[in-house]
Amino acid sequence: MDPLKDRTINWTAYVLATLGVCIADLQGWHLLGYVCKPLLMIVLSSWFFFNSRRVGDRFTLLVQGGLFFSLVGDIALMLQHLDAFNFLIGLGAFFLAQLCYAMAFAHNVFDEGGLEGWLVSVLLAFVVAVYVLFFTWDLVPLLDDGLSLPVIACICGSGLMAMMAAFRYRRTYARSFWAVFAGTVLFLASDSVLTIDRFRRPLPHAGTIIVLTYAGAQFLIAWGCLMHVLDPDNLRRREALTT
């Protein structure tokens, strides 16, 4: 088995990198954090790429884009203590990552078509939209003028991503849907904790909570998307369209 595609090797590396970031945050070991934080997206992106490249399409390219911009965002936020502007770079990179994910999910929705399951999709999307609306409404008075737009855009980007994931219901493999939707909810939770900790009040162990929810979110999104790509029905349909 190719180690670049092997699930056990890559998942173990991802878990170890996540633990490394958590330990670095708790112990203040910055060098460990500098090594492990970028490894999260490098390992996940590599594993996704080498498992999906033989059936690569617009969907997989958009997911790869989301993973790439997430890596850029991780590095920028990791270095924000050197220059406060890196915080804005990080937010911008994550906003682009969220847009890539949202467009990938939208591509899945429109590619499959049909109206089956739309009631559940609309209900889930409505719950996400209500949460984002009230969260941002409560957040706006706490933000400086220079940060209002990028911070709110990032929260809304997370919400859009989760809403588009909701519309994949009955348009993909069931496990793929629930993994991706759970991942987008965790992504929104991670953004929410980061925002509350930075702008409202310090939260105990916020760094660890942010890392765990973020790492879980990215893993579930990548894994769920890979399940969709490698779904036997999708593979057979691609083969039929190319013959």
Give the pLDDT confidence of 195-240 residue by residue, as tens digits: 999 888 889 989 999 999 999 999 999 999 999 998 766 555 544 4
Q: Residue-wise over 101-129: b if at least 16 C-beta within 10 A, else e?
A: bbbbbbbbbeeeeeeeeeeebeebbeebb
- Distance (Å, rounded) from C-alpha 158 to C-alpha 101? 9
- Distance (Å, rounded) from C-alpha 135 to C-alpha 129? 10
Amino acid at site 215: A
**DSSP annotation of 55:** G
pLDDT of residue 2: 82
pLDDT of residue 96: 97
- 3-state percent helix, strand, coil for the chain, nearest multiple of 5: 85, 0, 15
Q: Is the pLDDT of residue 242 over 50?
A: no
Which carries the bigger pLDDT value, residue 149 or residue 211? Answer: 211
**DSSP annotation of 7:** H
- Band (pLDDT 50/70/90 cuts) for residue 111 is confident
For residue 95, give both structure tokens.
């906003």
pLDDT of residue 33: 92
**38 CB-contact burial (10 Å; exposed 0-12 / middle 13-18 / buried 19+):** middle
For residue 84, give both structure tokens.
């406060």
* pLDDT cut 90: percent of the chain above it: 72
Rounded mean pLDDT, 75-82: 90
59: CB partners within 8 A, 6+ apart: 104, 107, 108, 111, 225, 228, 229
**167 CB-contact burial (10 Å; exposed 0-12 / middle 13-18 / buried 19+):** buried
Q: End-to-end CA distance of the chain, in Å? A: 29
At 84, which helix (H) or strand (E)? Answer: none
For residue 70, give both structure tokens.
């997430």
Decide: pTM greater than 0.75: yes
Rounded mean pLDDT, 171-194: 95
- The residue extents of the domains of the chain are 7-242
pLDDT of residue 240: 43
pLDDT of residue 165: 97
pLDDT of residue 169: 95
Rounded mean pLDDT, 115-140: 94
Rounded mean pLDDT, 65-86: 92
